[in-house]
Structure 1
Amino acid sequence: MLTSSYWFWSLLALLLFWAVGAYNRLVRLRASVTKAFAALDEQLLRQLVLIQGCLPESLRDDSHEDADEPADAAMAAWQRLQAAGEQFGVALAQARAQPVDAAAMAGLVLAHEALRTAWTSALAEAVPADAVPSAERLQQRWMRLLHQTLPLRTAFNEAAQAYNLAIRQFPAALLARISGFRAAGTIARLTEAH
């Protein structure tokens, strides 16, 4: 009787130590995803600042006078860029608040795609050939920011994949399900240079 009680308590203690260790590992992995996103977030914010800095003064100061007046093609391109920038800012804030949420990451990718499309359109339609800085120089700045983001995106994706693998492994998957750990989203296409 004493021997079976000893084995029971030993097994229970071992199970408890394993559960605490596995839980701490999952928490550390989730924290590494958050930390990797913080570095990526800073770089994505720089892209947004570049976009906002390139907008015409009339759009930057939020004085949308003549809102009913039809805009020319150049102003329409700037307005699309401004709207895409606002959408990206909202998606970035949402991803910052929930860096492990797959839906937030998917929204961030879609918003970034819209921002890139609007940026390309604004450079083509709204930046005059004799502008200073020129469309080519603005595009070079944009591409530099995109390329600086690539290693940060890779680090985030690797952290998210390590976390996702850990919450799918048995028996940690049981603990993850009970504790509410959800799979993290990755950023597959964000910042790829075109």
Structure 2
Amino acid sequence: MNTTSIVSWAILAVLVFWAVGAYNRLVRLRNSIGNAFAQIDVQLKRRYDLIPNLVEAAKKYIAHERETLEAVIAARNQARTAADHVRARPTNAGSVGALAIAEQALEGTLARLMAVVENYPELKADQTLRELSEELTSTENKVAFARQAFNDAALDYNNAAQQFPTNLIARLFGFKEAGMLQSTTSDEERKTLRVQF
């Protein structure tokens, strides 16, 4: 073998090792997005489980506010379905966006429910409702932290997939941009959701 072929084989070997490393890094980063969503999913499931209990506690006091109670449950079910779609494909930007919209609707209906609660002193004083509200507030905080971890993982993945020369491997193997799970509620809506008794 002459020097030219040895150099050619060495360059080829370096390129193959680099390509394998780049591919494996993208896979690892994509999987970290799935893991980060799993952390959000735990908190979302907890929240989805708390909401029916909150509605049940409120029902005995505000039966004539049935429309609000039904809206909360419907929004919860839509958000849960959207979360199921993201769980199946956590890097799908469309699914992540749909979850953000569903979560915004859920947070809006919860805020309306809490506004109704404010109008009923006997409901406001109910120990079960207070405990559920505190649990929900705690869960909201955990969702916010988990959302940040998810977004950090998505950012790392997107950066790796978009930077040259790794973007060549990303395009070649179909690594798509991951969506960010952004908060869709304003600070004012968050204050409304956190009712203090």
In structure 1, how many angstroms separate the alpha carbons of the residues matched to 2:145 and 2:114?
Answer: 26
**1:130-141 alignment to 2 at 5 Å?**
130-131=122-123, 132-133=126-127, 137-141=131-135
User: Contact 2:68–2:109 at 8 Å: present in 1 too?
Assistant: yes
Counterpart selection for 2:105 from 106, 109, 114: 114
Look up the equivalent residue of 1:129 and give its one-letter code. P
2:121 match: secondary structure: coil
Q: Return the letter of the residue paired with 1:180.
A: G
The structure 1 segments of at least 4 consecutive aligned residues displaced by more than 6 Å after TM superposition are none
Residue 188 (1) aligns with residue 182 (2): yes
Aligned to 1:175: 169
What TM-score do the two structures reach when normalised by structure 1? 0.84
Compared CA separation, residues 122 and 176, structure 1 to 2 (3 A): same
Alpha-carbon distance in structure 1 between the residues aligned to 2:128 and 2:146:
28
In structure 2, distance between residues paired with 1:120 and 1:167:
39
User: How many angstroms apart in 1 are the aligned matches of 2:113 and 2:145?
Assistant: 27
- Report how many aligned residue pairs link the two structures: 181
Aligned counterparts, 1:59-138, within 5 A: 74-125=65-116, 128-131=120-123, 132-133=126-127, 137-138=131-132
Structure 2, unpaired ranges of 5+: 192-197
Identity of aligned residues (%): 36
Question: How far is 1:50 from its partner?
Answer: 0.8
Q: Could you tell me how far 1:142 is from its partner in structure 2?
A: 2.0
Other-structure match for 2:4? 4
1-side partners of 2:139 and 2:15: how far apart? Answer: 48
Query: Conserved in 1, the CA contact under 8 Å of 2:53 and 2:132?
Result: no
Gaps of 5+ in 1: 60-71
Contact kept, 8 Å, 1:106 with 1:185, in 2: the verdict is yes
Partners of 2:47 and 2:139 within 8 A in 1: yes
Counterpart among 138, 158, 166 of residue 164 in structure 1: 158
RMSD, matched Cα:
2.3
In 2, the alpha carbon distance for the partners of 1:112 and 1:31 equals 23
Secondary structure (helix, strand or coil) at the match of 1:16 reads: helix
Contact 2:54–2:133 (Cα < 8 Å) also in 1: no
Tell me the TM-score normalised to structure 2 length: 0.83
1:180 Cα deviation after fit: 0.7
Q: CA–CA distance in 2 between the matches of 1:138 and 1:38?
A: 23
Separation in 1, partners of 2:141, 2:12:
51
**C-alpha displacement at 1:52, in angstroms?**
2.0
Alpha-carbon separation, structure 2, partners of 1:93 and 1:157: 18
Question: In the aligned structure 1, how far is the partner of 2:20 from the partner of 2:54?
Answer: 51
Distance 2:110 2:117 in 1: 10
Contact 1:26 1:166 in 2 (8 A): yes
